Amino acid sequence: MSQTFSLNTQTKLVLLIFANFLTFFQFSLVDELVSIGFLLLITLIIGGKKRAAIYLLIYSSCLGIEQLLMGHYLNYFVSFFSLYAVTLRRLLPLLLVGGLFIRTTKVSELMYTLRKWHLPEFIVIPFSVLFRFFPTLKGDYQHIRSAMRLRGIAVTTVDLVKHPIQTLEYIVVPLLMSASTTAVDLSAAALTRGISNPKPHTTIVHNGLRLFDYLVLAIALAIILLRGVF
């Protein structure tokens, strides 16, 4: 990824707030399409063509299902799929920006930004531990799936859907047990590194805004103001 088109951590946090506005405020379809197009363009520039195409396909599918099933809500099965499509479409901005944030942000950058915003340590420390937690949990899940495939248990994703009780037994329960241990280990590691030290922390992180950051922030602010959220 080119440094010219990399987003500052502060910009990504503002985009998370922007995505929350898209999710929890009512927008017209045209306004929503403009906003989603803006986020997809950022994903295309930073995250790559494949990821942007996947999000576009998901959004288009959800919108198509919703429009196709409109007026046919008397059927329970149809209502369920329509509700699922609407929910996923509404949550897509958060999933899109959240995924981008997690993939492109280092823990040190996040901590530096939160401290630069003068947030209290009881907010900074849990965020730093939580930010390391999910990648570790993802690795645990991959190890569990590899062990299951090695033993011929639920080799495909379809098998997981077809046998929910087995999925609960072989994946969810071990993940919950692993998660509790992982949380304790990460907390201990963070404290060992002096995260709770009240003295000023040094950093080599460059946190200045570039032209691309200002452009993204200006467009996001313009969309919010023009759509009458405030």
- Quickly state the pLDDT bin for 46 (edges 50, 70, 90): confident
Ordered alpha helix ranges (H), the chain: 9-24, 29-47, 49-69, 76-104, 107-116, 121-150, 157-162, 164-167, 173-192, 211-226
Do 51 and 38 touch, CB atoms closer than 8 A? no
- Model confidence at 42, pLDDT cuts 50, 70, 90, reads very high
Q: How much is the pLDDT for 36?
A: 93
Q: Kindly give, in sequence order, each residue whose CB lies less than 8 Å from that of residue 122, ignoring residues fewer than 6 positions away.
A: none
Burial class (CB in 10 A: 0-12, 13-18, 19+), 131: middle
- pLDDT at position 124 is 81
pTM beyond 0.85, yes or no: no
For 189, other C-beta atoms within 10 Å of its C-beta total 12
Model pLDDT for residues 166-185, shown as the tens digit of each residue: 777 888 888 888 888 887 88
The 10 Å Cβ neighbour count of residue 212 is: 19
